[in-house]
A and B are shown apart, each in its own frame.
Chain A
Amino acid sequence: MGEFTRLATGGRRPVRAAAIPGVAYILVILSVLFAIFASGFTSAANLANIGVQSSILLLLALPMTLIIMSEGLDLSIGAVLGLAGVVLALVLVRGGGVALGLAAALAVGFTFGLGNGLLVAVLGMPPFVATLGTLGIAQSLALVATDGQSVVGIGDALPALYTSTWLGIPFSILVGLLAYLAFHFLLYHTRFGAYVFAIGGNREALRLAGARTDLYHVTIYVLGGLMAGVGALLLTGRMNAGHPIAAIGMEFDAIAAVIVGGTSFERGNGWLPGSLLGVLTLGVLKNGLNLLAVPSSLQVVSIGLLVIVALLIDSIRGRA
């Protein structure tokens, strides 16, 4: 398999990891700036806060990395997270346990992930338009299920789980870390991971080699849906309620984190640790701007500018 991996990835992976990526510079520069100008940024409580706030984004950025590596995109992932959260909250309100609620949220995520995967991989639709369509569907269902209102009264079990710690590590950071390890193993140490590189890099060669390309391609989108389901667990626990439009726009943060992390839309060129750094960069940026009392509307603008800066750095380094 080692030989196949190297062929499928064009030997790109080791080269990529050896260079210091642009995102590392951005993260360090931002952290230093906020440490100087935003009082309270470096306190232990605030740093832990950044970790907690970044965990949901990490859950989405991990599968988004694989999706973008496959020359795809998932614009629906935020709306699906919102719908899964609403379903989870409704299950809890009706007295189902957290386990049943999570199962329902995962089922919602799986269904939409499968739908996205089939539209993109089997029907051959351009991913950004296919997932724009499913975004509308997920958003509608969340609004109709709740009549546009928050779902409150979800009981104590999920908030208690969310605020629990293990060896001093908050639950959400733990979930984020486990998810990262799982995706890292999946991408770099399994046959599936090698295929993910190949689907973006040279799909036709993979097909001719006899691999069930479509199956793996669909699986990438299913992972996106499932992680949206897990993210719904954290978001609902954090908000102590299910809200139909709470997660709208989260897909933009996830895509931004992946791009800032150095994964590109071309030729299966992806790097999972970069996405982790990208998520932390976005977390640091939002947290620092919050401390500086910059309104959240301008934080969105700053993320857009961050993406442009990251792409500029990439293209300058690419030319050099």
Chain B
Amino acid sequence: METERLIRTLALDAGHRERPVGVALAVALLLAAPVSIALFMSILGMRPDVRTAMHNPFFDLKFVVTMALAIAGIIISLHLARPEASLRGWAWLLLIPVGLVLLGIAAEMMMPHQRPWLTRLIGNNAPACVSAIPLFSLPLLAAALLALRRGATARPALAGAVAGLLSAGLGATLYASHCTDDSPLFVATWYPLAIAMVTAVGAIAGRKMLRY
């Protein structure tokens, strides 16, 4: 086919409007959220003392940290969906949740009457944490990747990894409302392990799915 003809054909299709990637991602996450929530409610459910726990700042901090990760992931994902985008100037957003956990650890250190730090770090729910966060994240990750296929990223594996971070942030938010380990030391130890697994899956899937 001559290029001239292809151009004329493309011009005939000029009226077709594609949904912006941000809208597609929002719709995808809203559709996948009930799946993850249903998994969460049927397997774990919220901790019974959730009302009293809400008065504990270290319980609340978990949500601030996981939501900060999810929001940073969403912002970077949408940025990376553009062909000319790179991570430069945007990666610092991911330091926000890290900084928040470190602040939490410092604050907890200053509290009187603590259990030994190793007890707090190991906690009671480590195996559940490391398996449940990836489980609740996967439906969100699949939806996010499908939406991001509408984008045009120059870095498919990286974009997939960031999609992993955003879905792990959301999955961890669910899990955090079940888990009775509120110590920032626990959060800083086991959550990243679970998040790393989701990120790796995202990178591997993204490499294939996000090429354009």
Q: Do A and B make up one complex?
A: no
- Residues of B that sit less than 8 Å from A by CB: none
- Residues of A that sit less than 8 Å from B by CB: none
